[in-house]
Structure 1
Amino acid sequence: MYPVKKMWRLFLCLIIIAGALPLTTINEASASDEAAAVQSTGSVNTPASDEAAHLGESPSQGTGQSDTEPLTATVVVAKVKLIIGDSSTVTIKFSGAVTSFDLSSDMTAQNGSLGNLSTPDNITYTATLTPTANINAKNNVITLNLAGVTYAGGLKGTGTIDSNNYEIDTERPTSTIAIADSKLMAGQTTTVTFTFSEAVKGVDLADPTVANGTLSNLSSSDGGKTWAATLTPTPGIQDNTNIITLDNTGVADLAGNAGEGTTNSANYEIDTVRPTATIVVADNELKPGETSLVTITFSEAVSDFNLSSLTASNGTLSNLTSIDRERIWTVTLTPKANVNAADNFVTLDNSKVHNAAGNSLGEGVTKSNPYTVDTVLPSAALSHLTISSGTLSPAFVPETTSYTANVPYAVSSIKVNATMKDNSATMTVNGSPVASAQPSQDISLNVGVNPITIIVAAKDLSTKTYTISVTRANRETNEGGSSDNGSSGSGSNNGGSVDSGHVSSGCSTTPVIPSDNKIISTDGQLILPPGKAGEVRSGDAITISVPACATKQELKLAIQKVTDTHPFKTHHEVFLSPVFELSKNVPAYFDKPVTLSFAFDPASLKSNQTAAVFYYDEAKKIWIKVPAGRVQENRIAVTVDHFTKFTVLAIDQTTGLTVISDPAEFADISGHWAEASIKQAASTGIVTGYPDGTFKPGKTVTRAEFAVMLVNTLGIKKPGAELTFIDSASIGAWAQNAVAQVVQLGMMKGYENGTFRPNAEITRAEIAVTITNVVGQISKDTPEAGFADDSEIPDWAKGSAEFLKQTGIMLGKDGNRFAPQDAATRAEAVTVLLNMFALRG
């Protein structure tokens, strides 16, 4: 028996060596999988006595695992980077079917737990890996202990299998908040530092909530772990309890883990309430020898207030005294001698006065009500004297009363411009009244001596007479090669000569009188003989230069500033200069181009803008650009061949198109209490903005400006009456018609001393009276308005203030104050005018 068995084994070995009979039949796919996946091998010990029983048995017909082969497996983690809320599928694949496999005892997951074990065939299993919370670990594996796994008839595997590596980050970022300065005053800022436990992303200004302040300039300089921002306290707040709260859920670490909950800063204190002030000059008309008490009232006690904080135009201040615990102060105003000036103010430098918390009144100044100073003793003297052509000889001095001047024949008329030392005096030039510092009418000149008499009459009836003897030269002739004075030769005309009755210089075939002298006028009007070159200006705003031979006949030029520009601003262009109407007596085009030079403000232009000259097409109602404008500093020059309306507009440097200023898009009105009213007023043409795109709602309004606003609101077209105020000359041309209209209709009046004070800031009391003059009479039984400062409202304005409060046209300020002497701002003015218009219908 033994030899037979031995021979049988030998026979089988020969067959195996020859490849004629496999020892076992093994699934090739399974074998290849196992070879690729096995990282470490567990084996099963098979007793020698069982070898014959297993020989020739095919595992594919049973468990899929040969009893003689060790059990192997692979463990694969699908998601290798796990954060908060993540999980991953884990696939465990054995080399054959297993009969006993348990997650809790057979597998270990580093920094995680396993669950949800399932299998379709006892060979491939899946489970769910859930990472442990608050862990940050880069190297983790799942270990399968094969010794606990049963397979192939109860056999146990050996050894362990490790999965691929996976990373875990389940730590949430945390934060702290530090505020550098815990006590903030008006105008101050401080740095807020947000420090996180690790670098984070998604941080923005929407995450923190700031009590009584705002954050800006958020940035990180260390990759996102530390962030800094600027804390600006809200103006007008006094609050000792404030914190910053950070919503941690709005940020996440670089792995994507969001923060949790909120973080609060330490407490900080805010006091940004600025004190306010009013200044009242008791006597607003100061004469020689008079003084006035000035009262300065602050909203709270102030420190470091002294005379250096105050200035008085045309006056000095003294005797500063506090009469109410450093809240109410008085000072004595003494006017300067020998001064005659309206629209003077006592002015407080707001930056020099502080409350107990250290807050100043802010930037800028606080002004008193206007006062006039008239300390000039009656005088009939002139302080200045000029003529439009020629030069006075000797040079003018007030004590000299007799002068001479010479002008060429081409000057056929002249104007006198004289300034009186005493504005209360009157003046005549050759018998015609002339206002001080204003040009007289044209005075015709004959060839030879022309006497001009200027008589100044003081209010004390004394007079002083000045005379100017103007000699006009004889007319030169070129007929027969001789002149009127018998001399012979030829004159010059623009570099050419006149010969045999014609001009050889290219001027014209019509004989003209050549001359090298340019005729210059500074009052906006010019009369130019044929062939002459000339220049006419209107102040510094515009200059017209006419070359010689621009026309074949006498040329009369005039510059007029257009006061009502609303018809020309329908497209909201940005105007850099006034609109000028240029006219001449010759309807034809110029024979030679004429140069126009305009002044403009370069500071009104943005970086991508420049200036260009435009003329107005009356037929198409549009502005048309004049080509080839030459810009030099604050002036732009062009050449034209005809006259019409001209102006300077802002254009885009890239496109060449005009810049449009949308009244609804002023840069400084967003969030302003009068934003809606400002937009409505701008869109209806009541007011316009500034070239820099702002409206300046807090800028004060003068009496002349308010008159223009009122006329624009009501659409008044009827011409006004002639102005007779003694300061009418100081009313700008842009406002003269509007002032005349409102005065004629009884809406605004002048002062008892005969002035209108166009450049004085209009007070809230004056606006109240003006509006009631527009809407109708005040009822006699109008009850008191109940303002906290009723006692400060002048008697002449009390009824108006009460009426406007009842109708809602004009309300009080903070603390139920009417503030009658406060200067009205642009925002207040347009709001009141719109309310008036709505009530008036």
Structure 2
Amino acid sequence: GNSSNYSNEVSATPIAATPSASSNANLSSMAVSGITLSPSFDPGTFSYTASVANGVTLVIVTPTISDSNAKVKVNGTAVTSGQASGAINLNVGSTQITVVVTAQDGKTVQTYTVNVSRAEAVTASSTAPIQVTTKPVSITVPASVTNAEIVVATTMAGSSKEAMLPLVEVQAATTLGNVSIMIPDGTKITAPGNWDGTIKLPQVLSNSSVTINHGIVSAVIEVGSTEVSLTFDRAVRLLIPNQGGKKAGFVRNGVFTEITGTVTADTQAAADHEIAAGGDAKMMIGSDLVIWTKHFTLFVSYTQVDSTSNTVTRSGGGGGGGAATNSATISATSGGKTTLNGATIEVPAGAMDSNIQVTVDIVSDTSILPMDSALQLVSEVYEIKKDKDGEFSKPVVITLPFDKTKVDSAKWTAGVYWLNEQTHKWMSLESLNVDEANGTASGSVNHFTKFAVLALDKAKTEQPQTNEADFADIKGQWYESNVRELVKLGAINGYPDNTFRPDANITRAEFVTVIVKAFQLGEHEGKTFAD
């Protein structure tokens, strides 16, 4: 048979494969407001912890997913990737937050958990230390409480002791304002082997407790331990209110060291990373001074002054900025009350003939001043001057602050004294008044010189406020006993070379002064003389 040839043309259209749905259920980041996660976030780590102070009552979570096709929920509520969740309330104790990511395939699910521990609120007392365990704690120290402490459990590590701390927040009410400390969760303390686990909470000490060459001390904060050195493996934040712009330093083993380090941000991460072991840094936050430190000791804020000056001048009154003020004008007709460098001077009306300029300097080198064996210095030494000669016709009241921690009232009697430059003796002021609670002492006097608060040892019989004449040129003379009595009355003084000079001439003004002081005469109406 016949055959025929033929062909068919066939064309094929390729069919695109349907891509499989993603199984990526990871987060690329997760942030919790105001919280540092432990450990730091990693997409492959699914369990975290964090601690917050008692004052933190809620947080917000911002999760970001790795795959834009995945879905994410925070505590069961859907959240847009990279956007904040709703507010999550925190209970005192532990609160668990769950972040659940569902992959595009609808099958793969990954759960991240954050357990947040909110600190318990505790109030410190003067009678018993606070026991700190593994739970975070927020401590309030009232202004009336002294020597507040916490105690932690310690373990031996070779010849040293160590302790692990939870988050510890402290708010201490002081004369400076609220001094705060924040010890981060998981901080390890290292101390000498004789440490008993006690940590002193911040306490304000007298400015006179620290002397800085050519510096005006503004605040002294003691924290940690006075007996042993405490160091930390993480930075601790100390805030001293209203000290912004001041220099800062610390005292260790009696040696003052300025803090010159800084950090790039006021954050735990920056301070931990940028501060060396055992180091410090400082920064100004608003009007406050913040010190980040990896050790506890005595911290100081101060202002540098001219290094050529022999005395230290302190700023009078509050407020910031401006030059130091150590002088003021007082009216003759109305009198006045002024506080300069911490010393308060109250001059009554009519105590002088004309207006005066009063200046108060703080003597920086007190080692050159005489000091009786029965006395101890418990304040700064204030040199008070005026621009006019002569004594006041009415008593002037001087009030000075002192370090009350140095005065045990059972053993010592505090009072304001003035330095007699001729006899080199400290003399007690009249009308003494001591406010032990506020650490101030006052008294009356009719002239200006150097003043200080001294404490007299009650156990010693020597009374340094009484002048004792020991003039070589009156011994054996018929008038010796009379001269000694006049010296005791404060009516007369000898000369700097410990002589009386009985044959020397005196002016009528000097004679009248002796009479007035000897008989303690008061002011009366009558004729006055221009000279």
Does the pair score TM above 0.5?
no
Q: More helix per residue: 1 or 2? A: 1
| TM-score (normalizing by structure 2) | 0.36
Higher relative contact order at CA 8 Å, sep ≥6: structure 1 or structure 2? 2
| TM-score (normalizing by structure 1) | 0.24
